[in-house]
């Protein structure tokens, strides 16, 4: 594509140099530049992204043949100055890859917790209905039958649009995309024509980026406010907003969107509701009451929060006119998303669950639910942070773990030596929350592997080991394999589990 064609998509520009240049791709990373690329110099975000203007020379040396900039630059290649390089990046990427979201149905899922599980549930239902599906999110990007891992949740526009184009070329019917508040605020999904926007929940998170809950709320709200103002008589062109009736933020999102709203919930009246919920450590059953009928749902997902995830996916599927019986079948066969309240299978006589929970709300939801499902001990593992003063994310998670656990094992791999020594002293001396009067045992291990190993060695019949944070699945599987091939008597020589009492 000629640079001239790309520049014509922008209105307010200042051009230096010739535009009769062939563009082979678009990037914002000088290390990824290939010959013929357009290098977009987005402004920096302190602590998050560097100013790309600093890497112009590197980009040109690597083969960049044109630049998008936000300030006056003297360069040996054509330079296009724009007011907002991020907006230009999204707009030009969308045009370069042929507006792919216009040719498939794009479903965006946003919220503090539950995005990944809800996205995968929606995708599973659509696939069960024989649609070709794609996925973008925390675990990676699914195009056709391949999944490519990603180090970012909501991708930058040039990669996002490229992946949507690949899905289009694979005759994908639906793409289900996790949409983060940061991605929305940075304009990463500008150019995406969402058919459906799904909201899971809102709790305090990412305040290091947004600053306040109001700004965080409004960032989420942009997904719903940008769905357009037009309406079509064709159902295939209808737009939907799927909102959690039990979350106060839904009222704002309802007012922001012109899409047709479908609500779901447990406590407040909604279009899609769960009643007679039965929770066990092996799965969940509930009576589904909807505007098209009532049916019993059984799934292997654990916890009330996963009932909400299921309801969100069901409401989304109903918007696509998928029959209840087919939804029921899909959810009965759905397996936990990797690392999301996932029970680690093995021959041990206790339960080991790994979960991505890394916010206070997510950890609280998981642990409070697990406490209701067992009369035995709950042993919790999660990673420390340097800043463990009152009110920090770590201190709040620690306090929640102490409230709902009998044993809390902390992993110190992210601690500085100073912070680690301080915590060792606090635990040894029983200071503050670490006091023995709380009837909670705290331990600090050097790293996540040793922390998980310690938890599994401590566990006895009926206990639940809950390992929270980043995806520990592969690591925990290996620990369990080693554990099961060892003589349990050897472990007893090292750890005297009877010294740690069962919660009253």
The annotated binding site is made up of: 30, 111-117, 180, 188
The answer to whether residues 406 and 378 touch, using CB atoms and an 8 Å cutoff, is yes
The answer to whether residues 426 and 390 touch, using CB atoms and an 8 Å cutoff, is no
Binding-site entries for ATP = 111-117
DSSP 73: -
Q: Strands 240-244, 37-40: parallel, antiparallel or unpaired by DSSP?
A: unpaired
Does the CA dihedral 100-102-103-105 come out positive or negative? positive
- The Cα–Cα gap between 220 and 267 comes to 23
What is the CA angle 319-184-5, rounded to 5? 95
- The Cα–Cα gap between 267 and 247 comes to 10
**Phi, psi for 355 (deg, rounded to 5):** -150, 145
Helix (H) or strand (E) holding 146: strand 146-148
Nearest residue to 208 via CA among 22, 385, 344, 473: 385
Residue-level length of the chain: 504
Radius of gyration of the chain (CA): 25
213, two tokens: 């809950």
Specify whether the backbone of 495 is left (phi greater than 0), alpha (psi in -120 to 50) or beta.
beta
């Amino acid at each position: 594509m000629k640079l001239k064609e790309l520049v014509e998509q922008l209105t307010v520009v200042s051009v230096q140099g010739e535009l009769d240049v062939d563009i082979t791709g678009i990037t914002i990373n000088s290390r990824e530049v290939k010959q013929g690329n357009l290098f977009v110099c987005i402004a920096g975000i302190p602590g998050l992204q560097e100013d790309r203007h600093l890497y112009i020379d590197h980009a040109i040396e690597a083969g960049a043949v044109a630049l998008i900039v936000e300030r006056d630059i003297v360069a040996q290649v054509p330079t296009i100055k724009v007011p907002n390089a991020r907006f230009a990046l999204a707009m030009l990427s969308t045009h370069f890859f042929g507006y792919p979201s216009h040719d498939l149905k794009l479903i965006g899922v946003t919220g503090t917790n539950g995005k990944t599980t809800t996205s995968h549930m929606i995708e599973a239902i659509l696939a069960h209905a024989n649609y070709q599906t794609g996925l973008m999110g925390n675990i990676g990007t699914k195009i056709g039958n391949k999944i490519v891992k990603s180090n970012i949740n909501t991708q930058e526009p040039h990669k996002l649009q490229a992946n949507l184009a690949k899905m289009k070329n694979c005759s994908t019917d639906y793409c289900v995309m996790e949409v983060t508040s940061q991605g929305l605020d940075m304009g990463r999904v500008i150019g995406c024509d969402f058919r459906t926007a799904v909201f899971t929940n809102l709790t305090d998170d990412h305040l290091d980026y947004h600053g306040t809950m109001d700004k965080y709320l409004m960032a989420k709200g942009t997904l719903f406010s940008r769905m357009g103002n037009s309406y079509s008589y064709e159902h295939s062109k209808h737009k939907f907003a799927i909102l959690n009736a039990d979350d106060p933020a839904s009222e704002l999102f309802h007012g922001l969107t012109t899409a047709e709203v479908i609500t779901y919930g447990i406590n407040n009246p909604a279009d899609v509701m769960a009643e007679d919920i039965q929770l066990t450590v092996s799965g969940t059953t509930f009576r589904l009451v909807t505007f098209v009928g009532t049916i019993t749902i059984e799934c292997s997902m654990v916890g009330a929060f996963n009932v909400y995830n299921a309801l969100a996916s069901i409401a989304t599927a109903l918007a696509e006119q998928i029959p209840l019986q087919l939804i029921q079948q899909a959810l009965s066969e759905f397996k936990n998303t990797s690392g999301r309240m996932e029970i680690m299978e093995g021959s041990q006589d206790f339960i080991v669950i790994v979960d991505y929970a890394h916010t206070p709300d997510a950890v609280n939801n998981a642990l409070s639910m697990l406490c209701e499902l067992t009369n035995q001990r709950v042993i919790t593992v999660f990673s420390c942070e340097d800043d463990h003063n009152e009110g920090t994310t770590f201190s709040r998670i620690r306090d929640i773990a102490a409230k709902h656990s009998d044993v809390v094992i902390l992993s110190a791999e992210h601690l500085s030596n100073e912070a680690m020594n301080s915590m060792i002293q606090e635990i040894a001396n029983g200071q503050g929350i670490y006091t023995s009067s709380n009837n909670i045992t705290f331990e600090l291990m050097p790293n996540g592997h040793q922390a998980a190993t310690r938890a599994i060695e401590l566990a006895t019949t009926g206990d639940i080991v809950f390992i929270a944070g980043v995806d520990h699945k592969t690591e925990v599987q290996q620990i369990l394999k080693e554990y099961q091939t060892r003589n349990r008597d050897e472990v007893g020589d090292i750890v005297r589990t009877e010294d740690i009492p069962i919660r009253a």
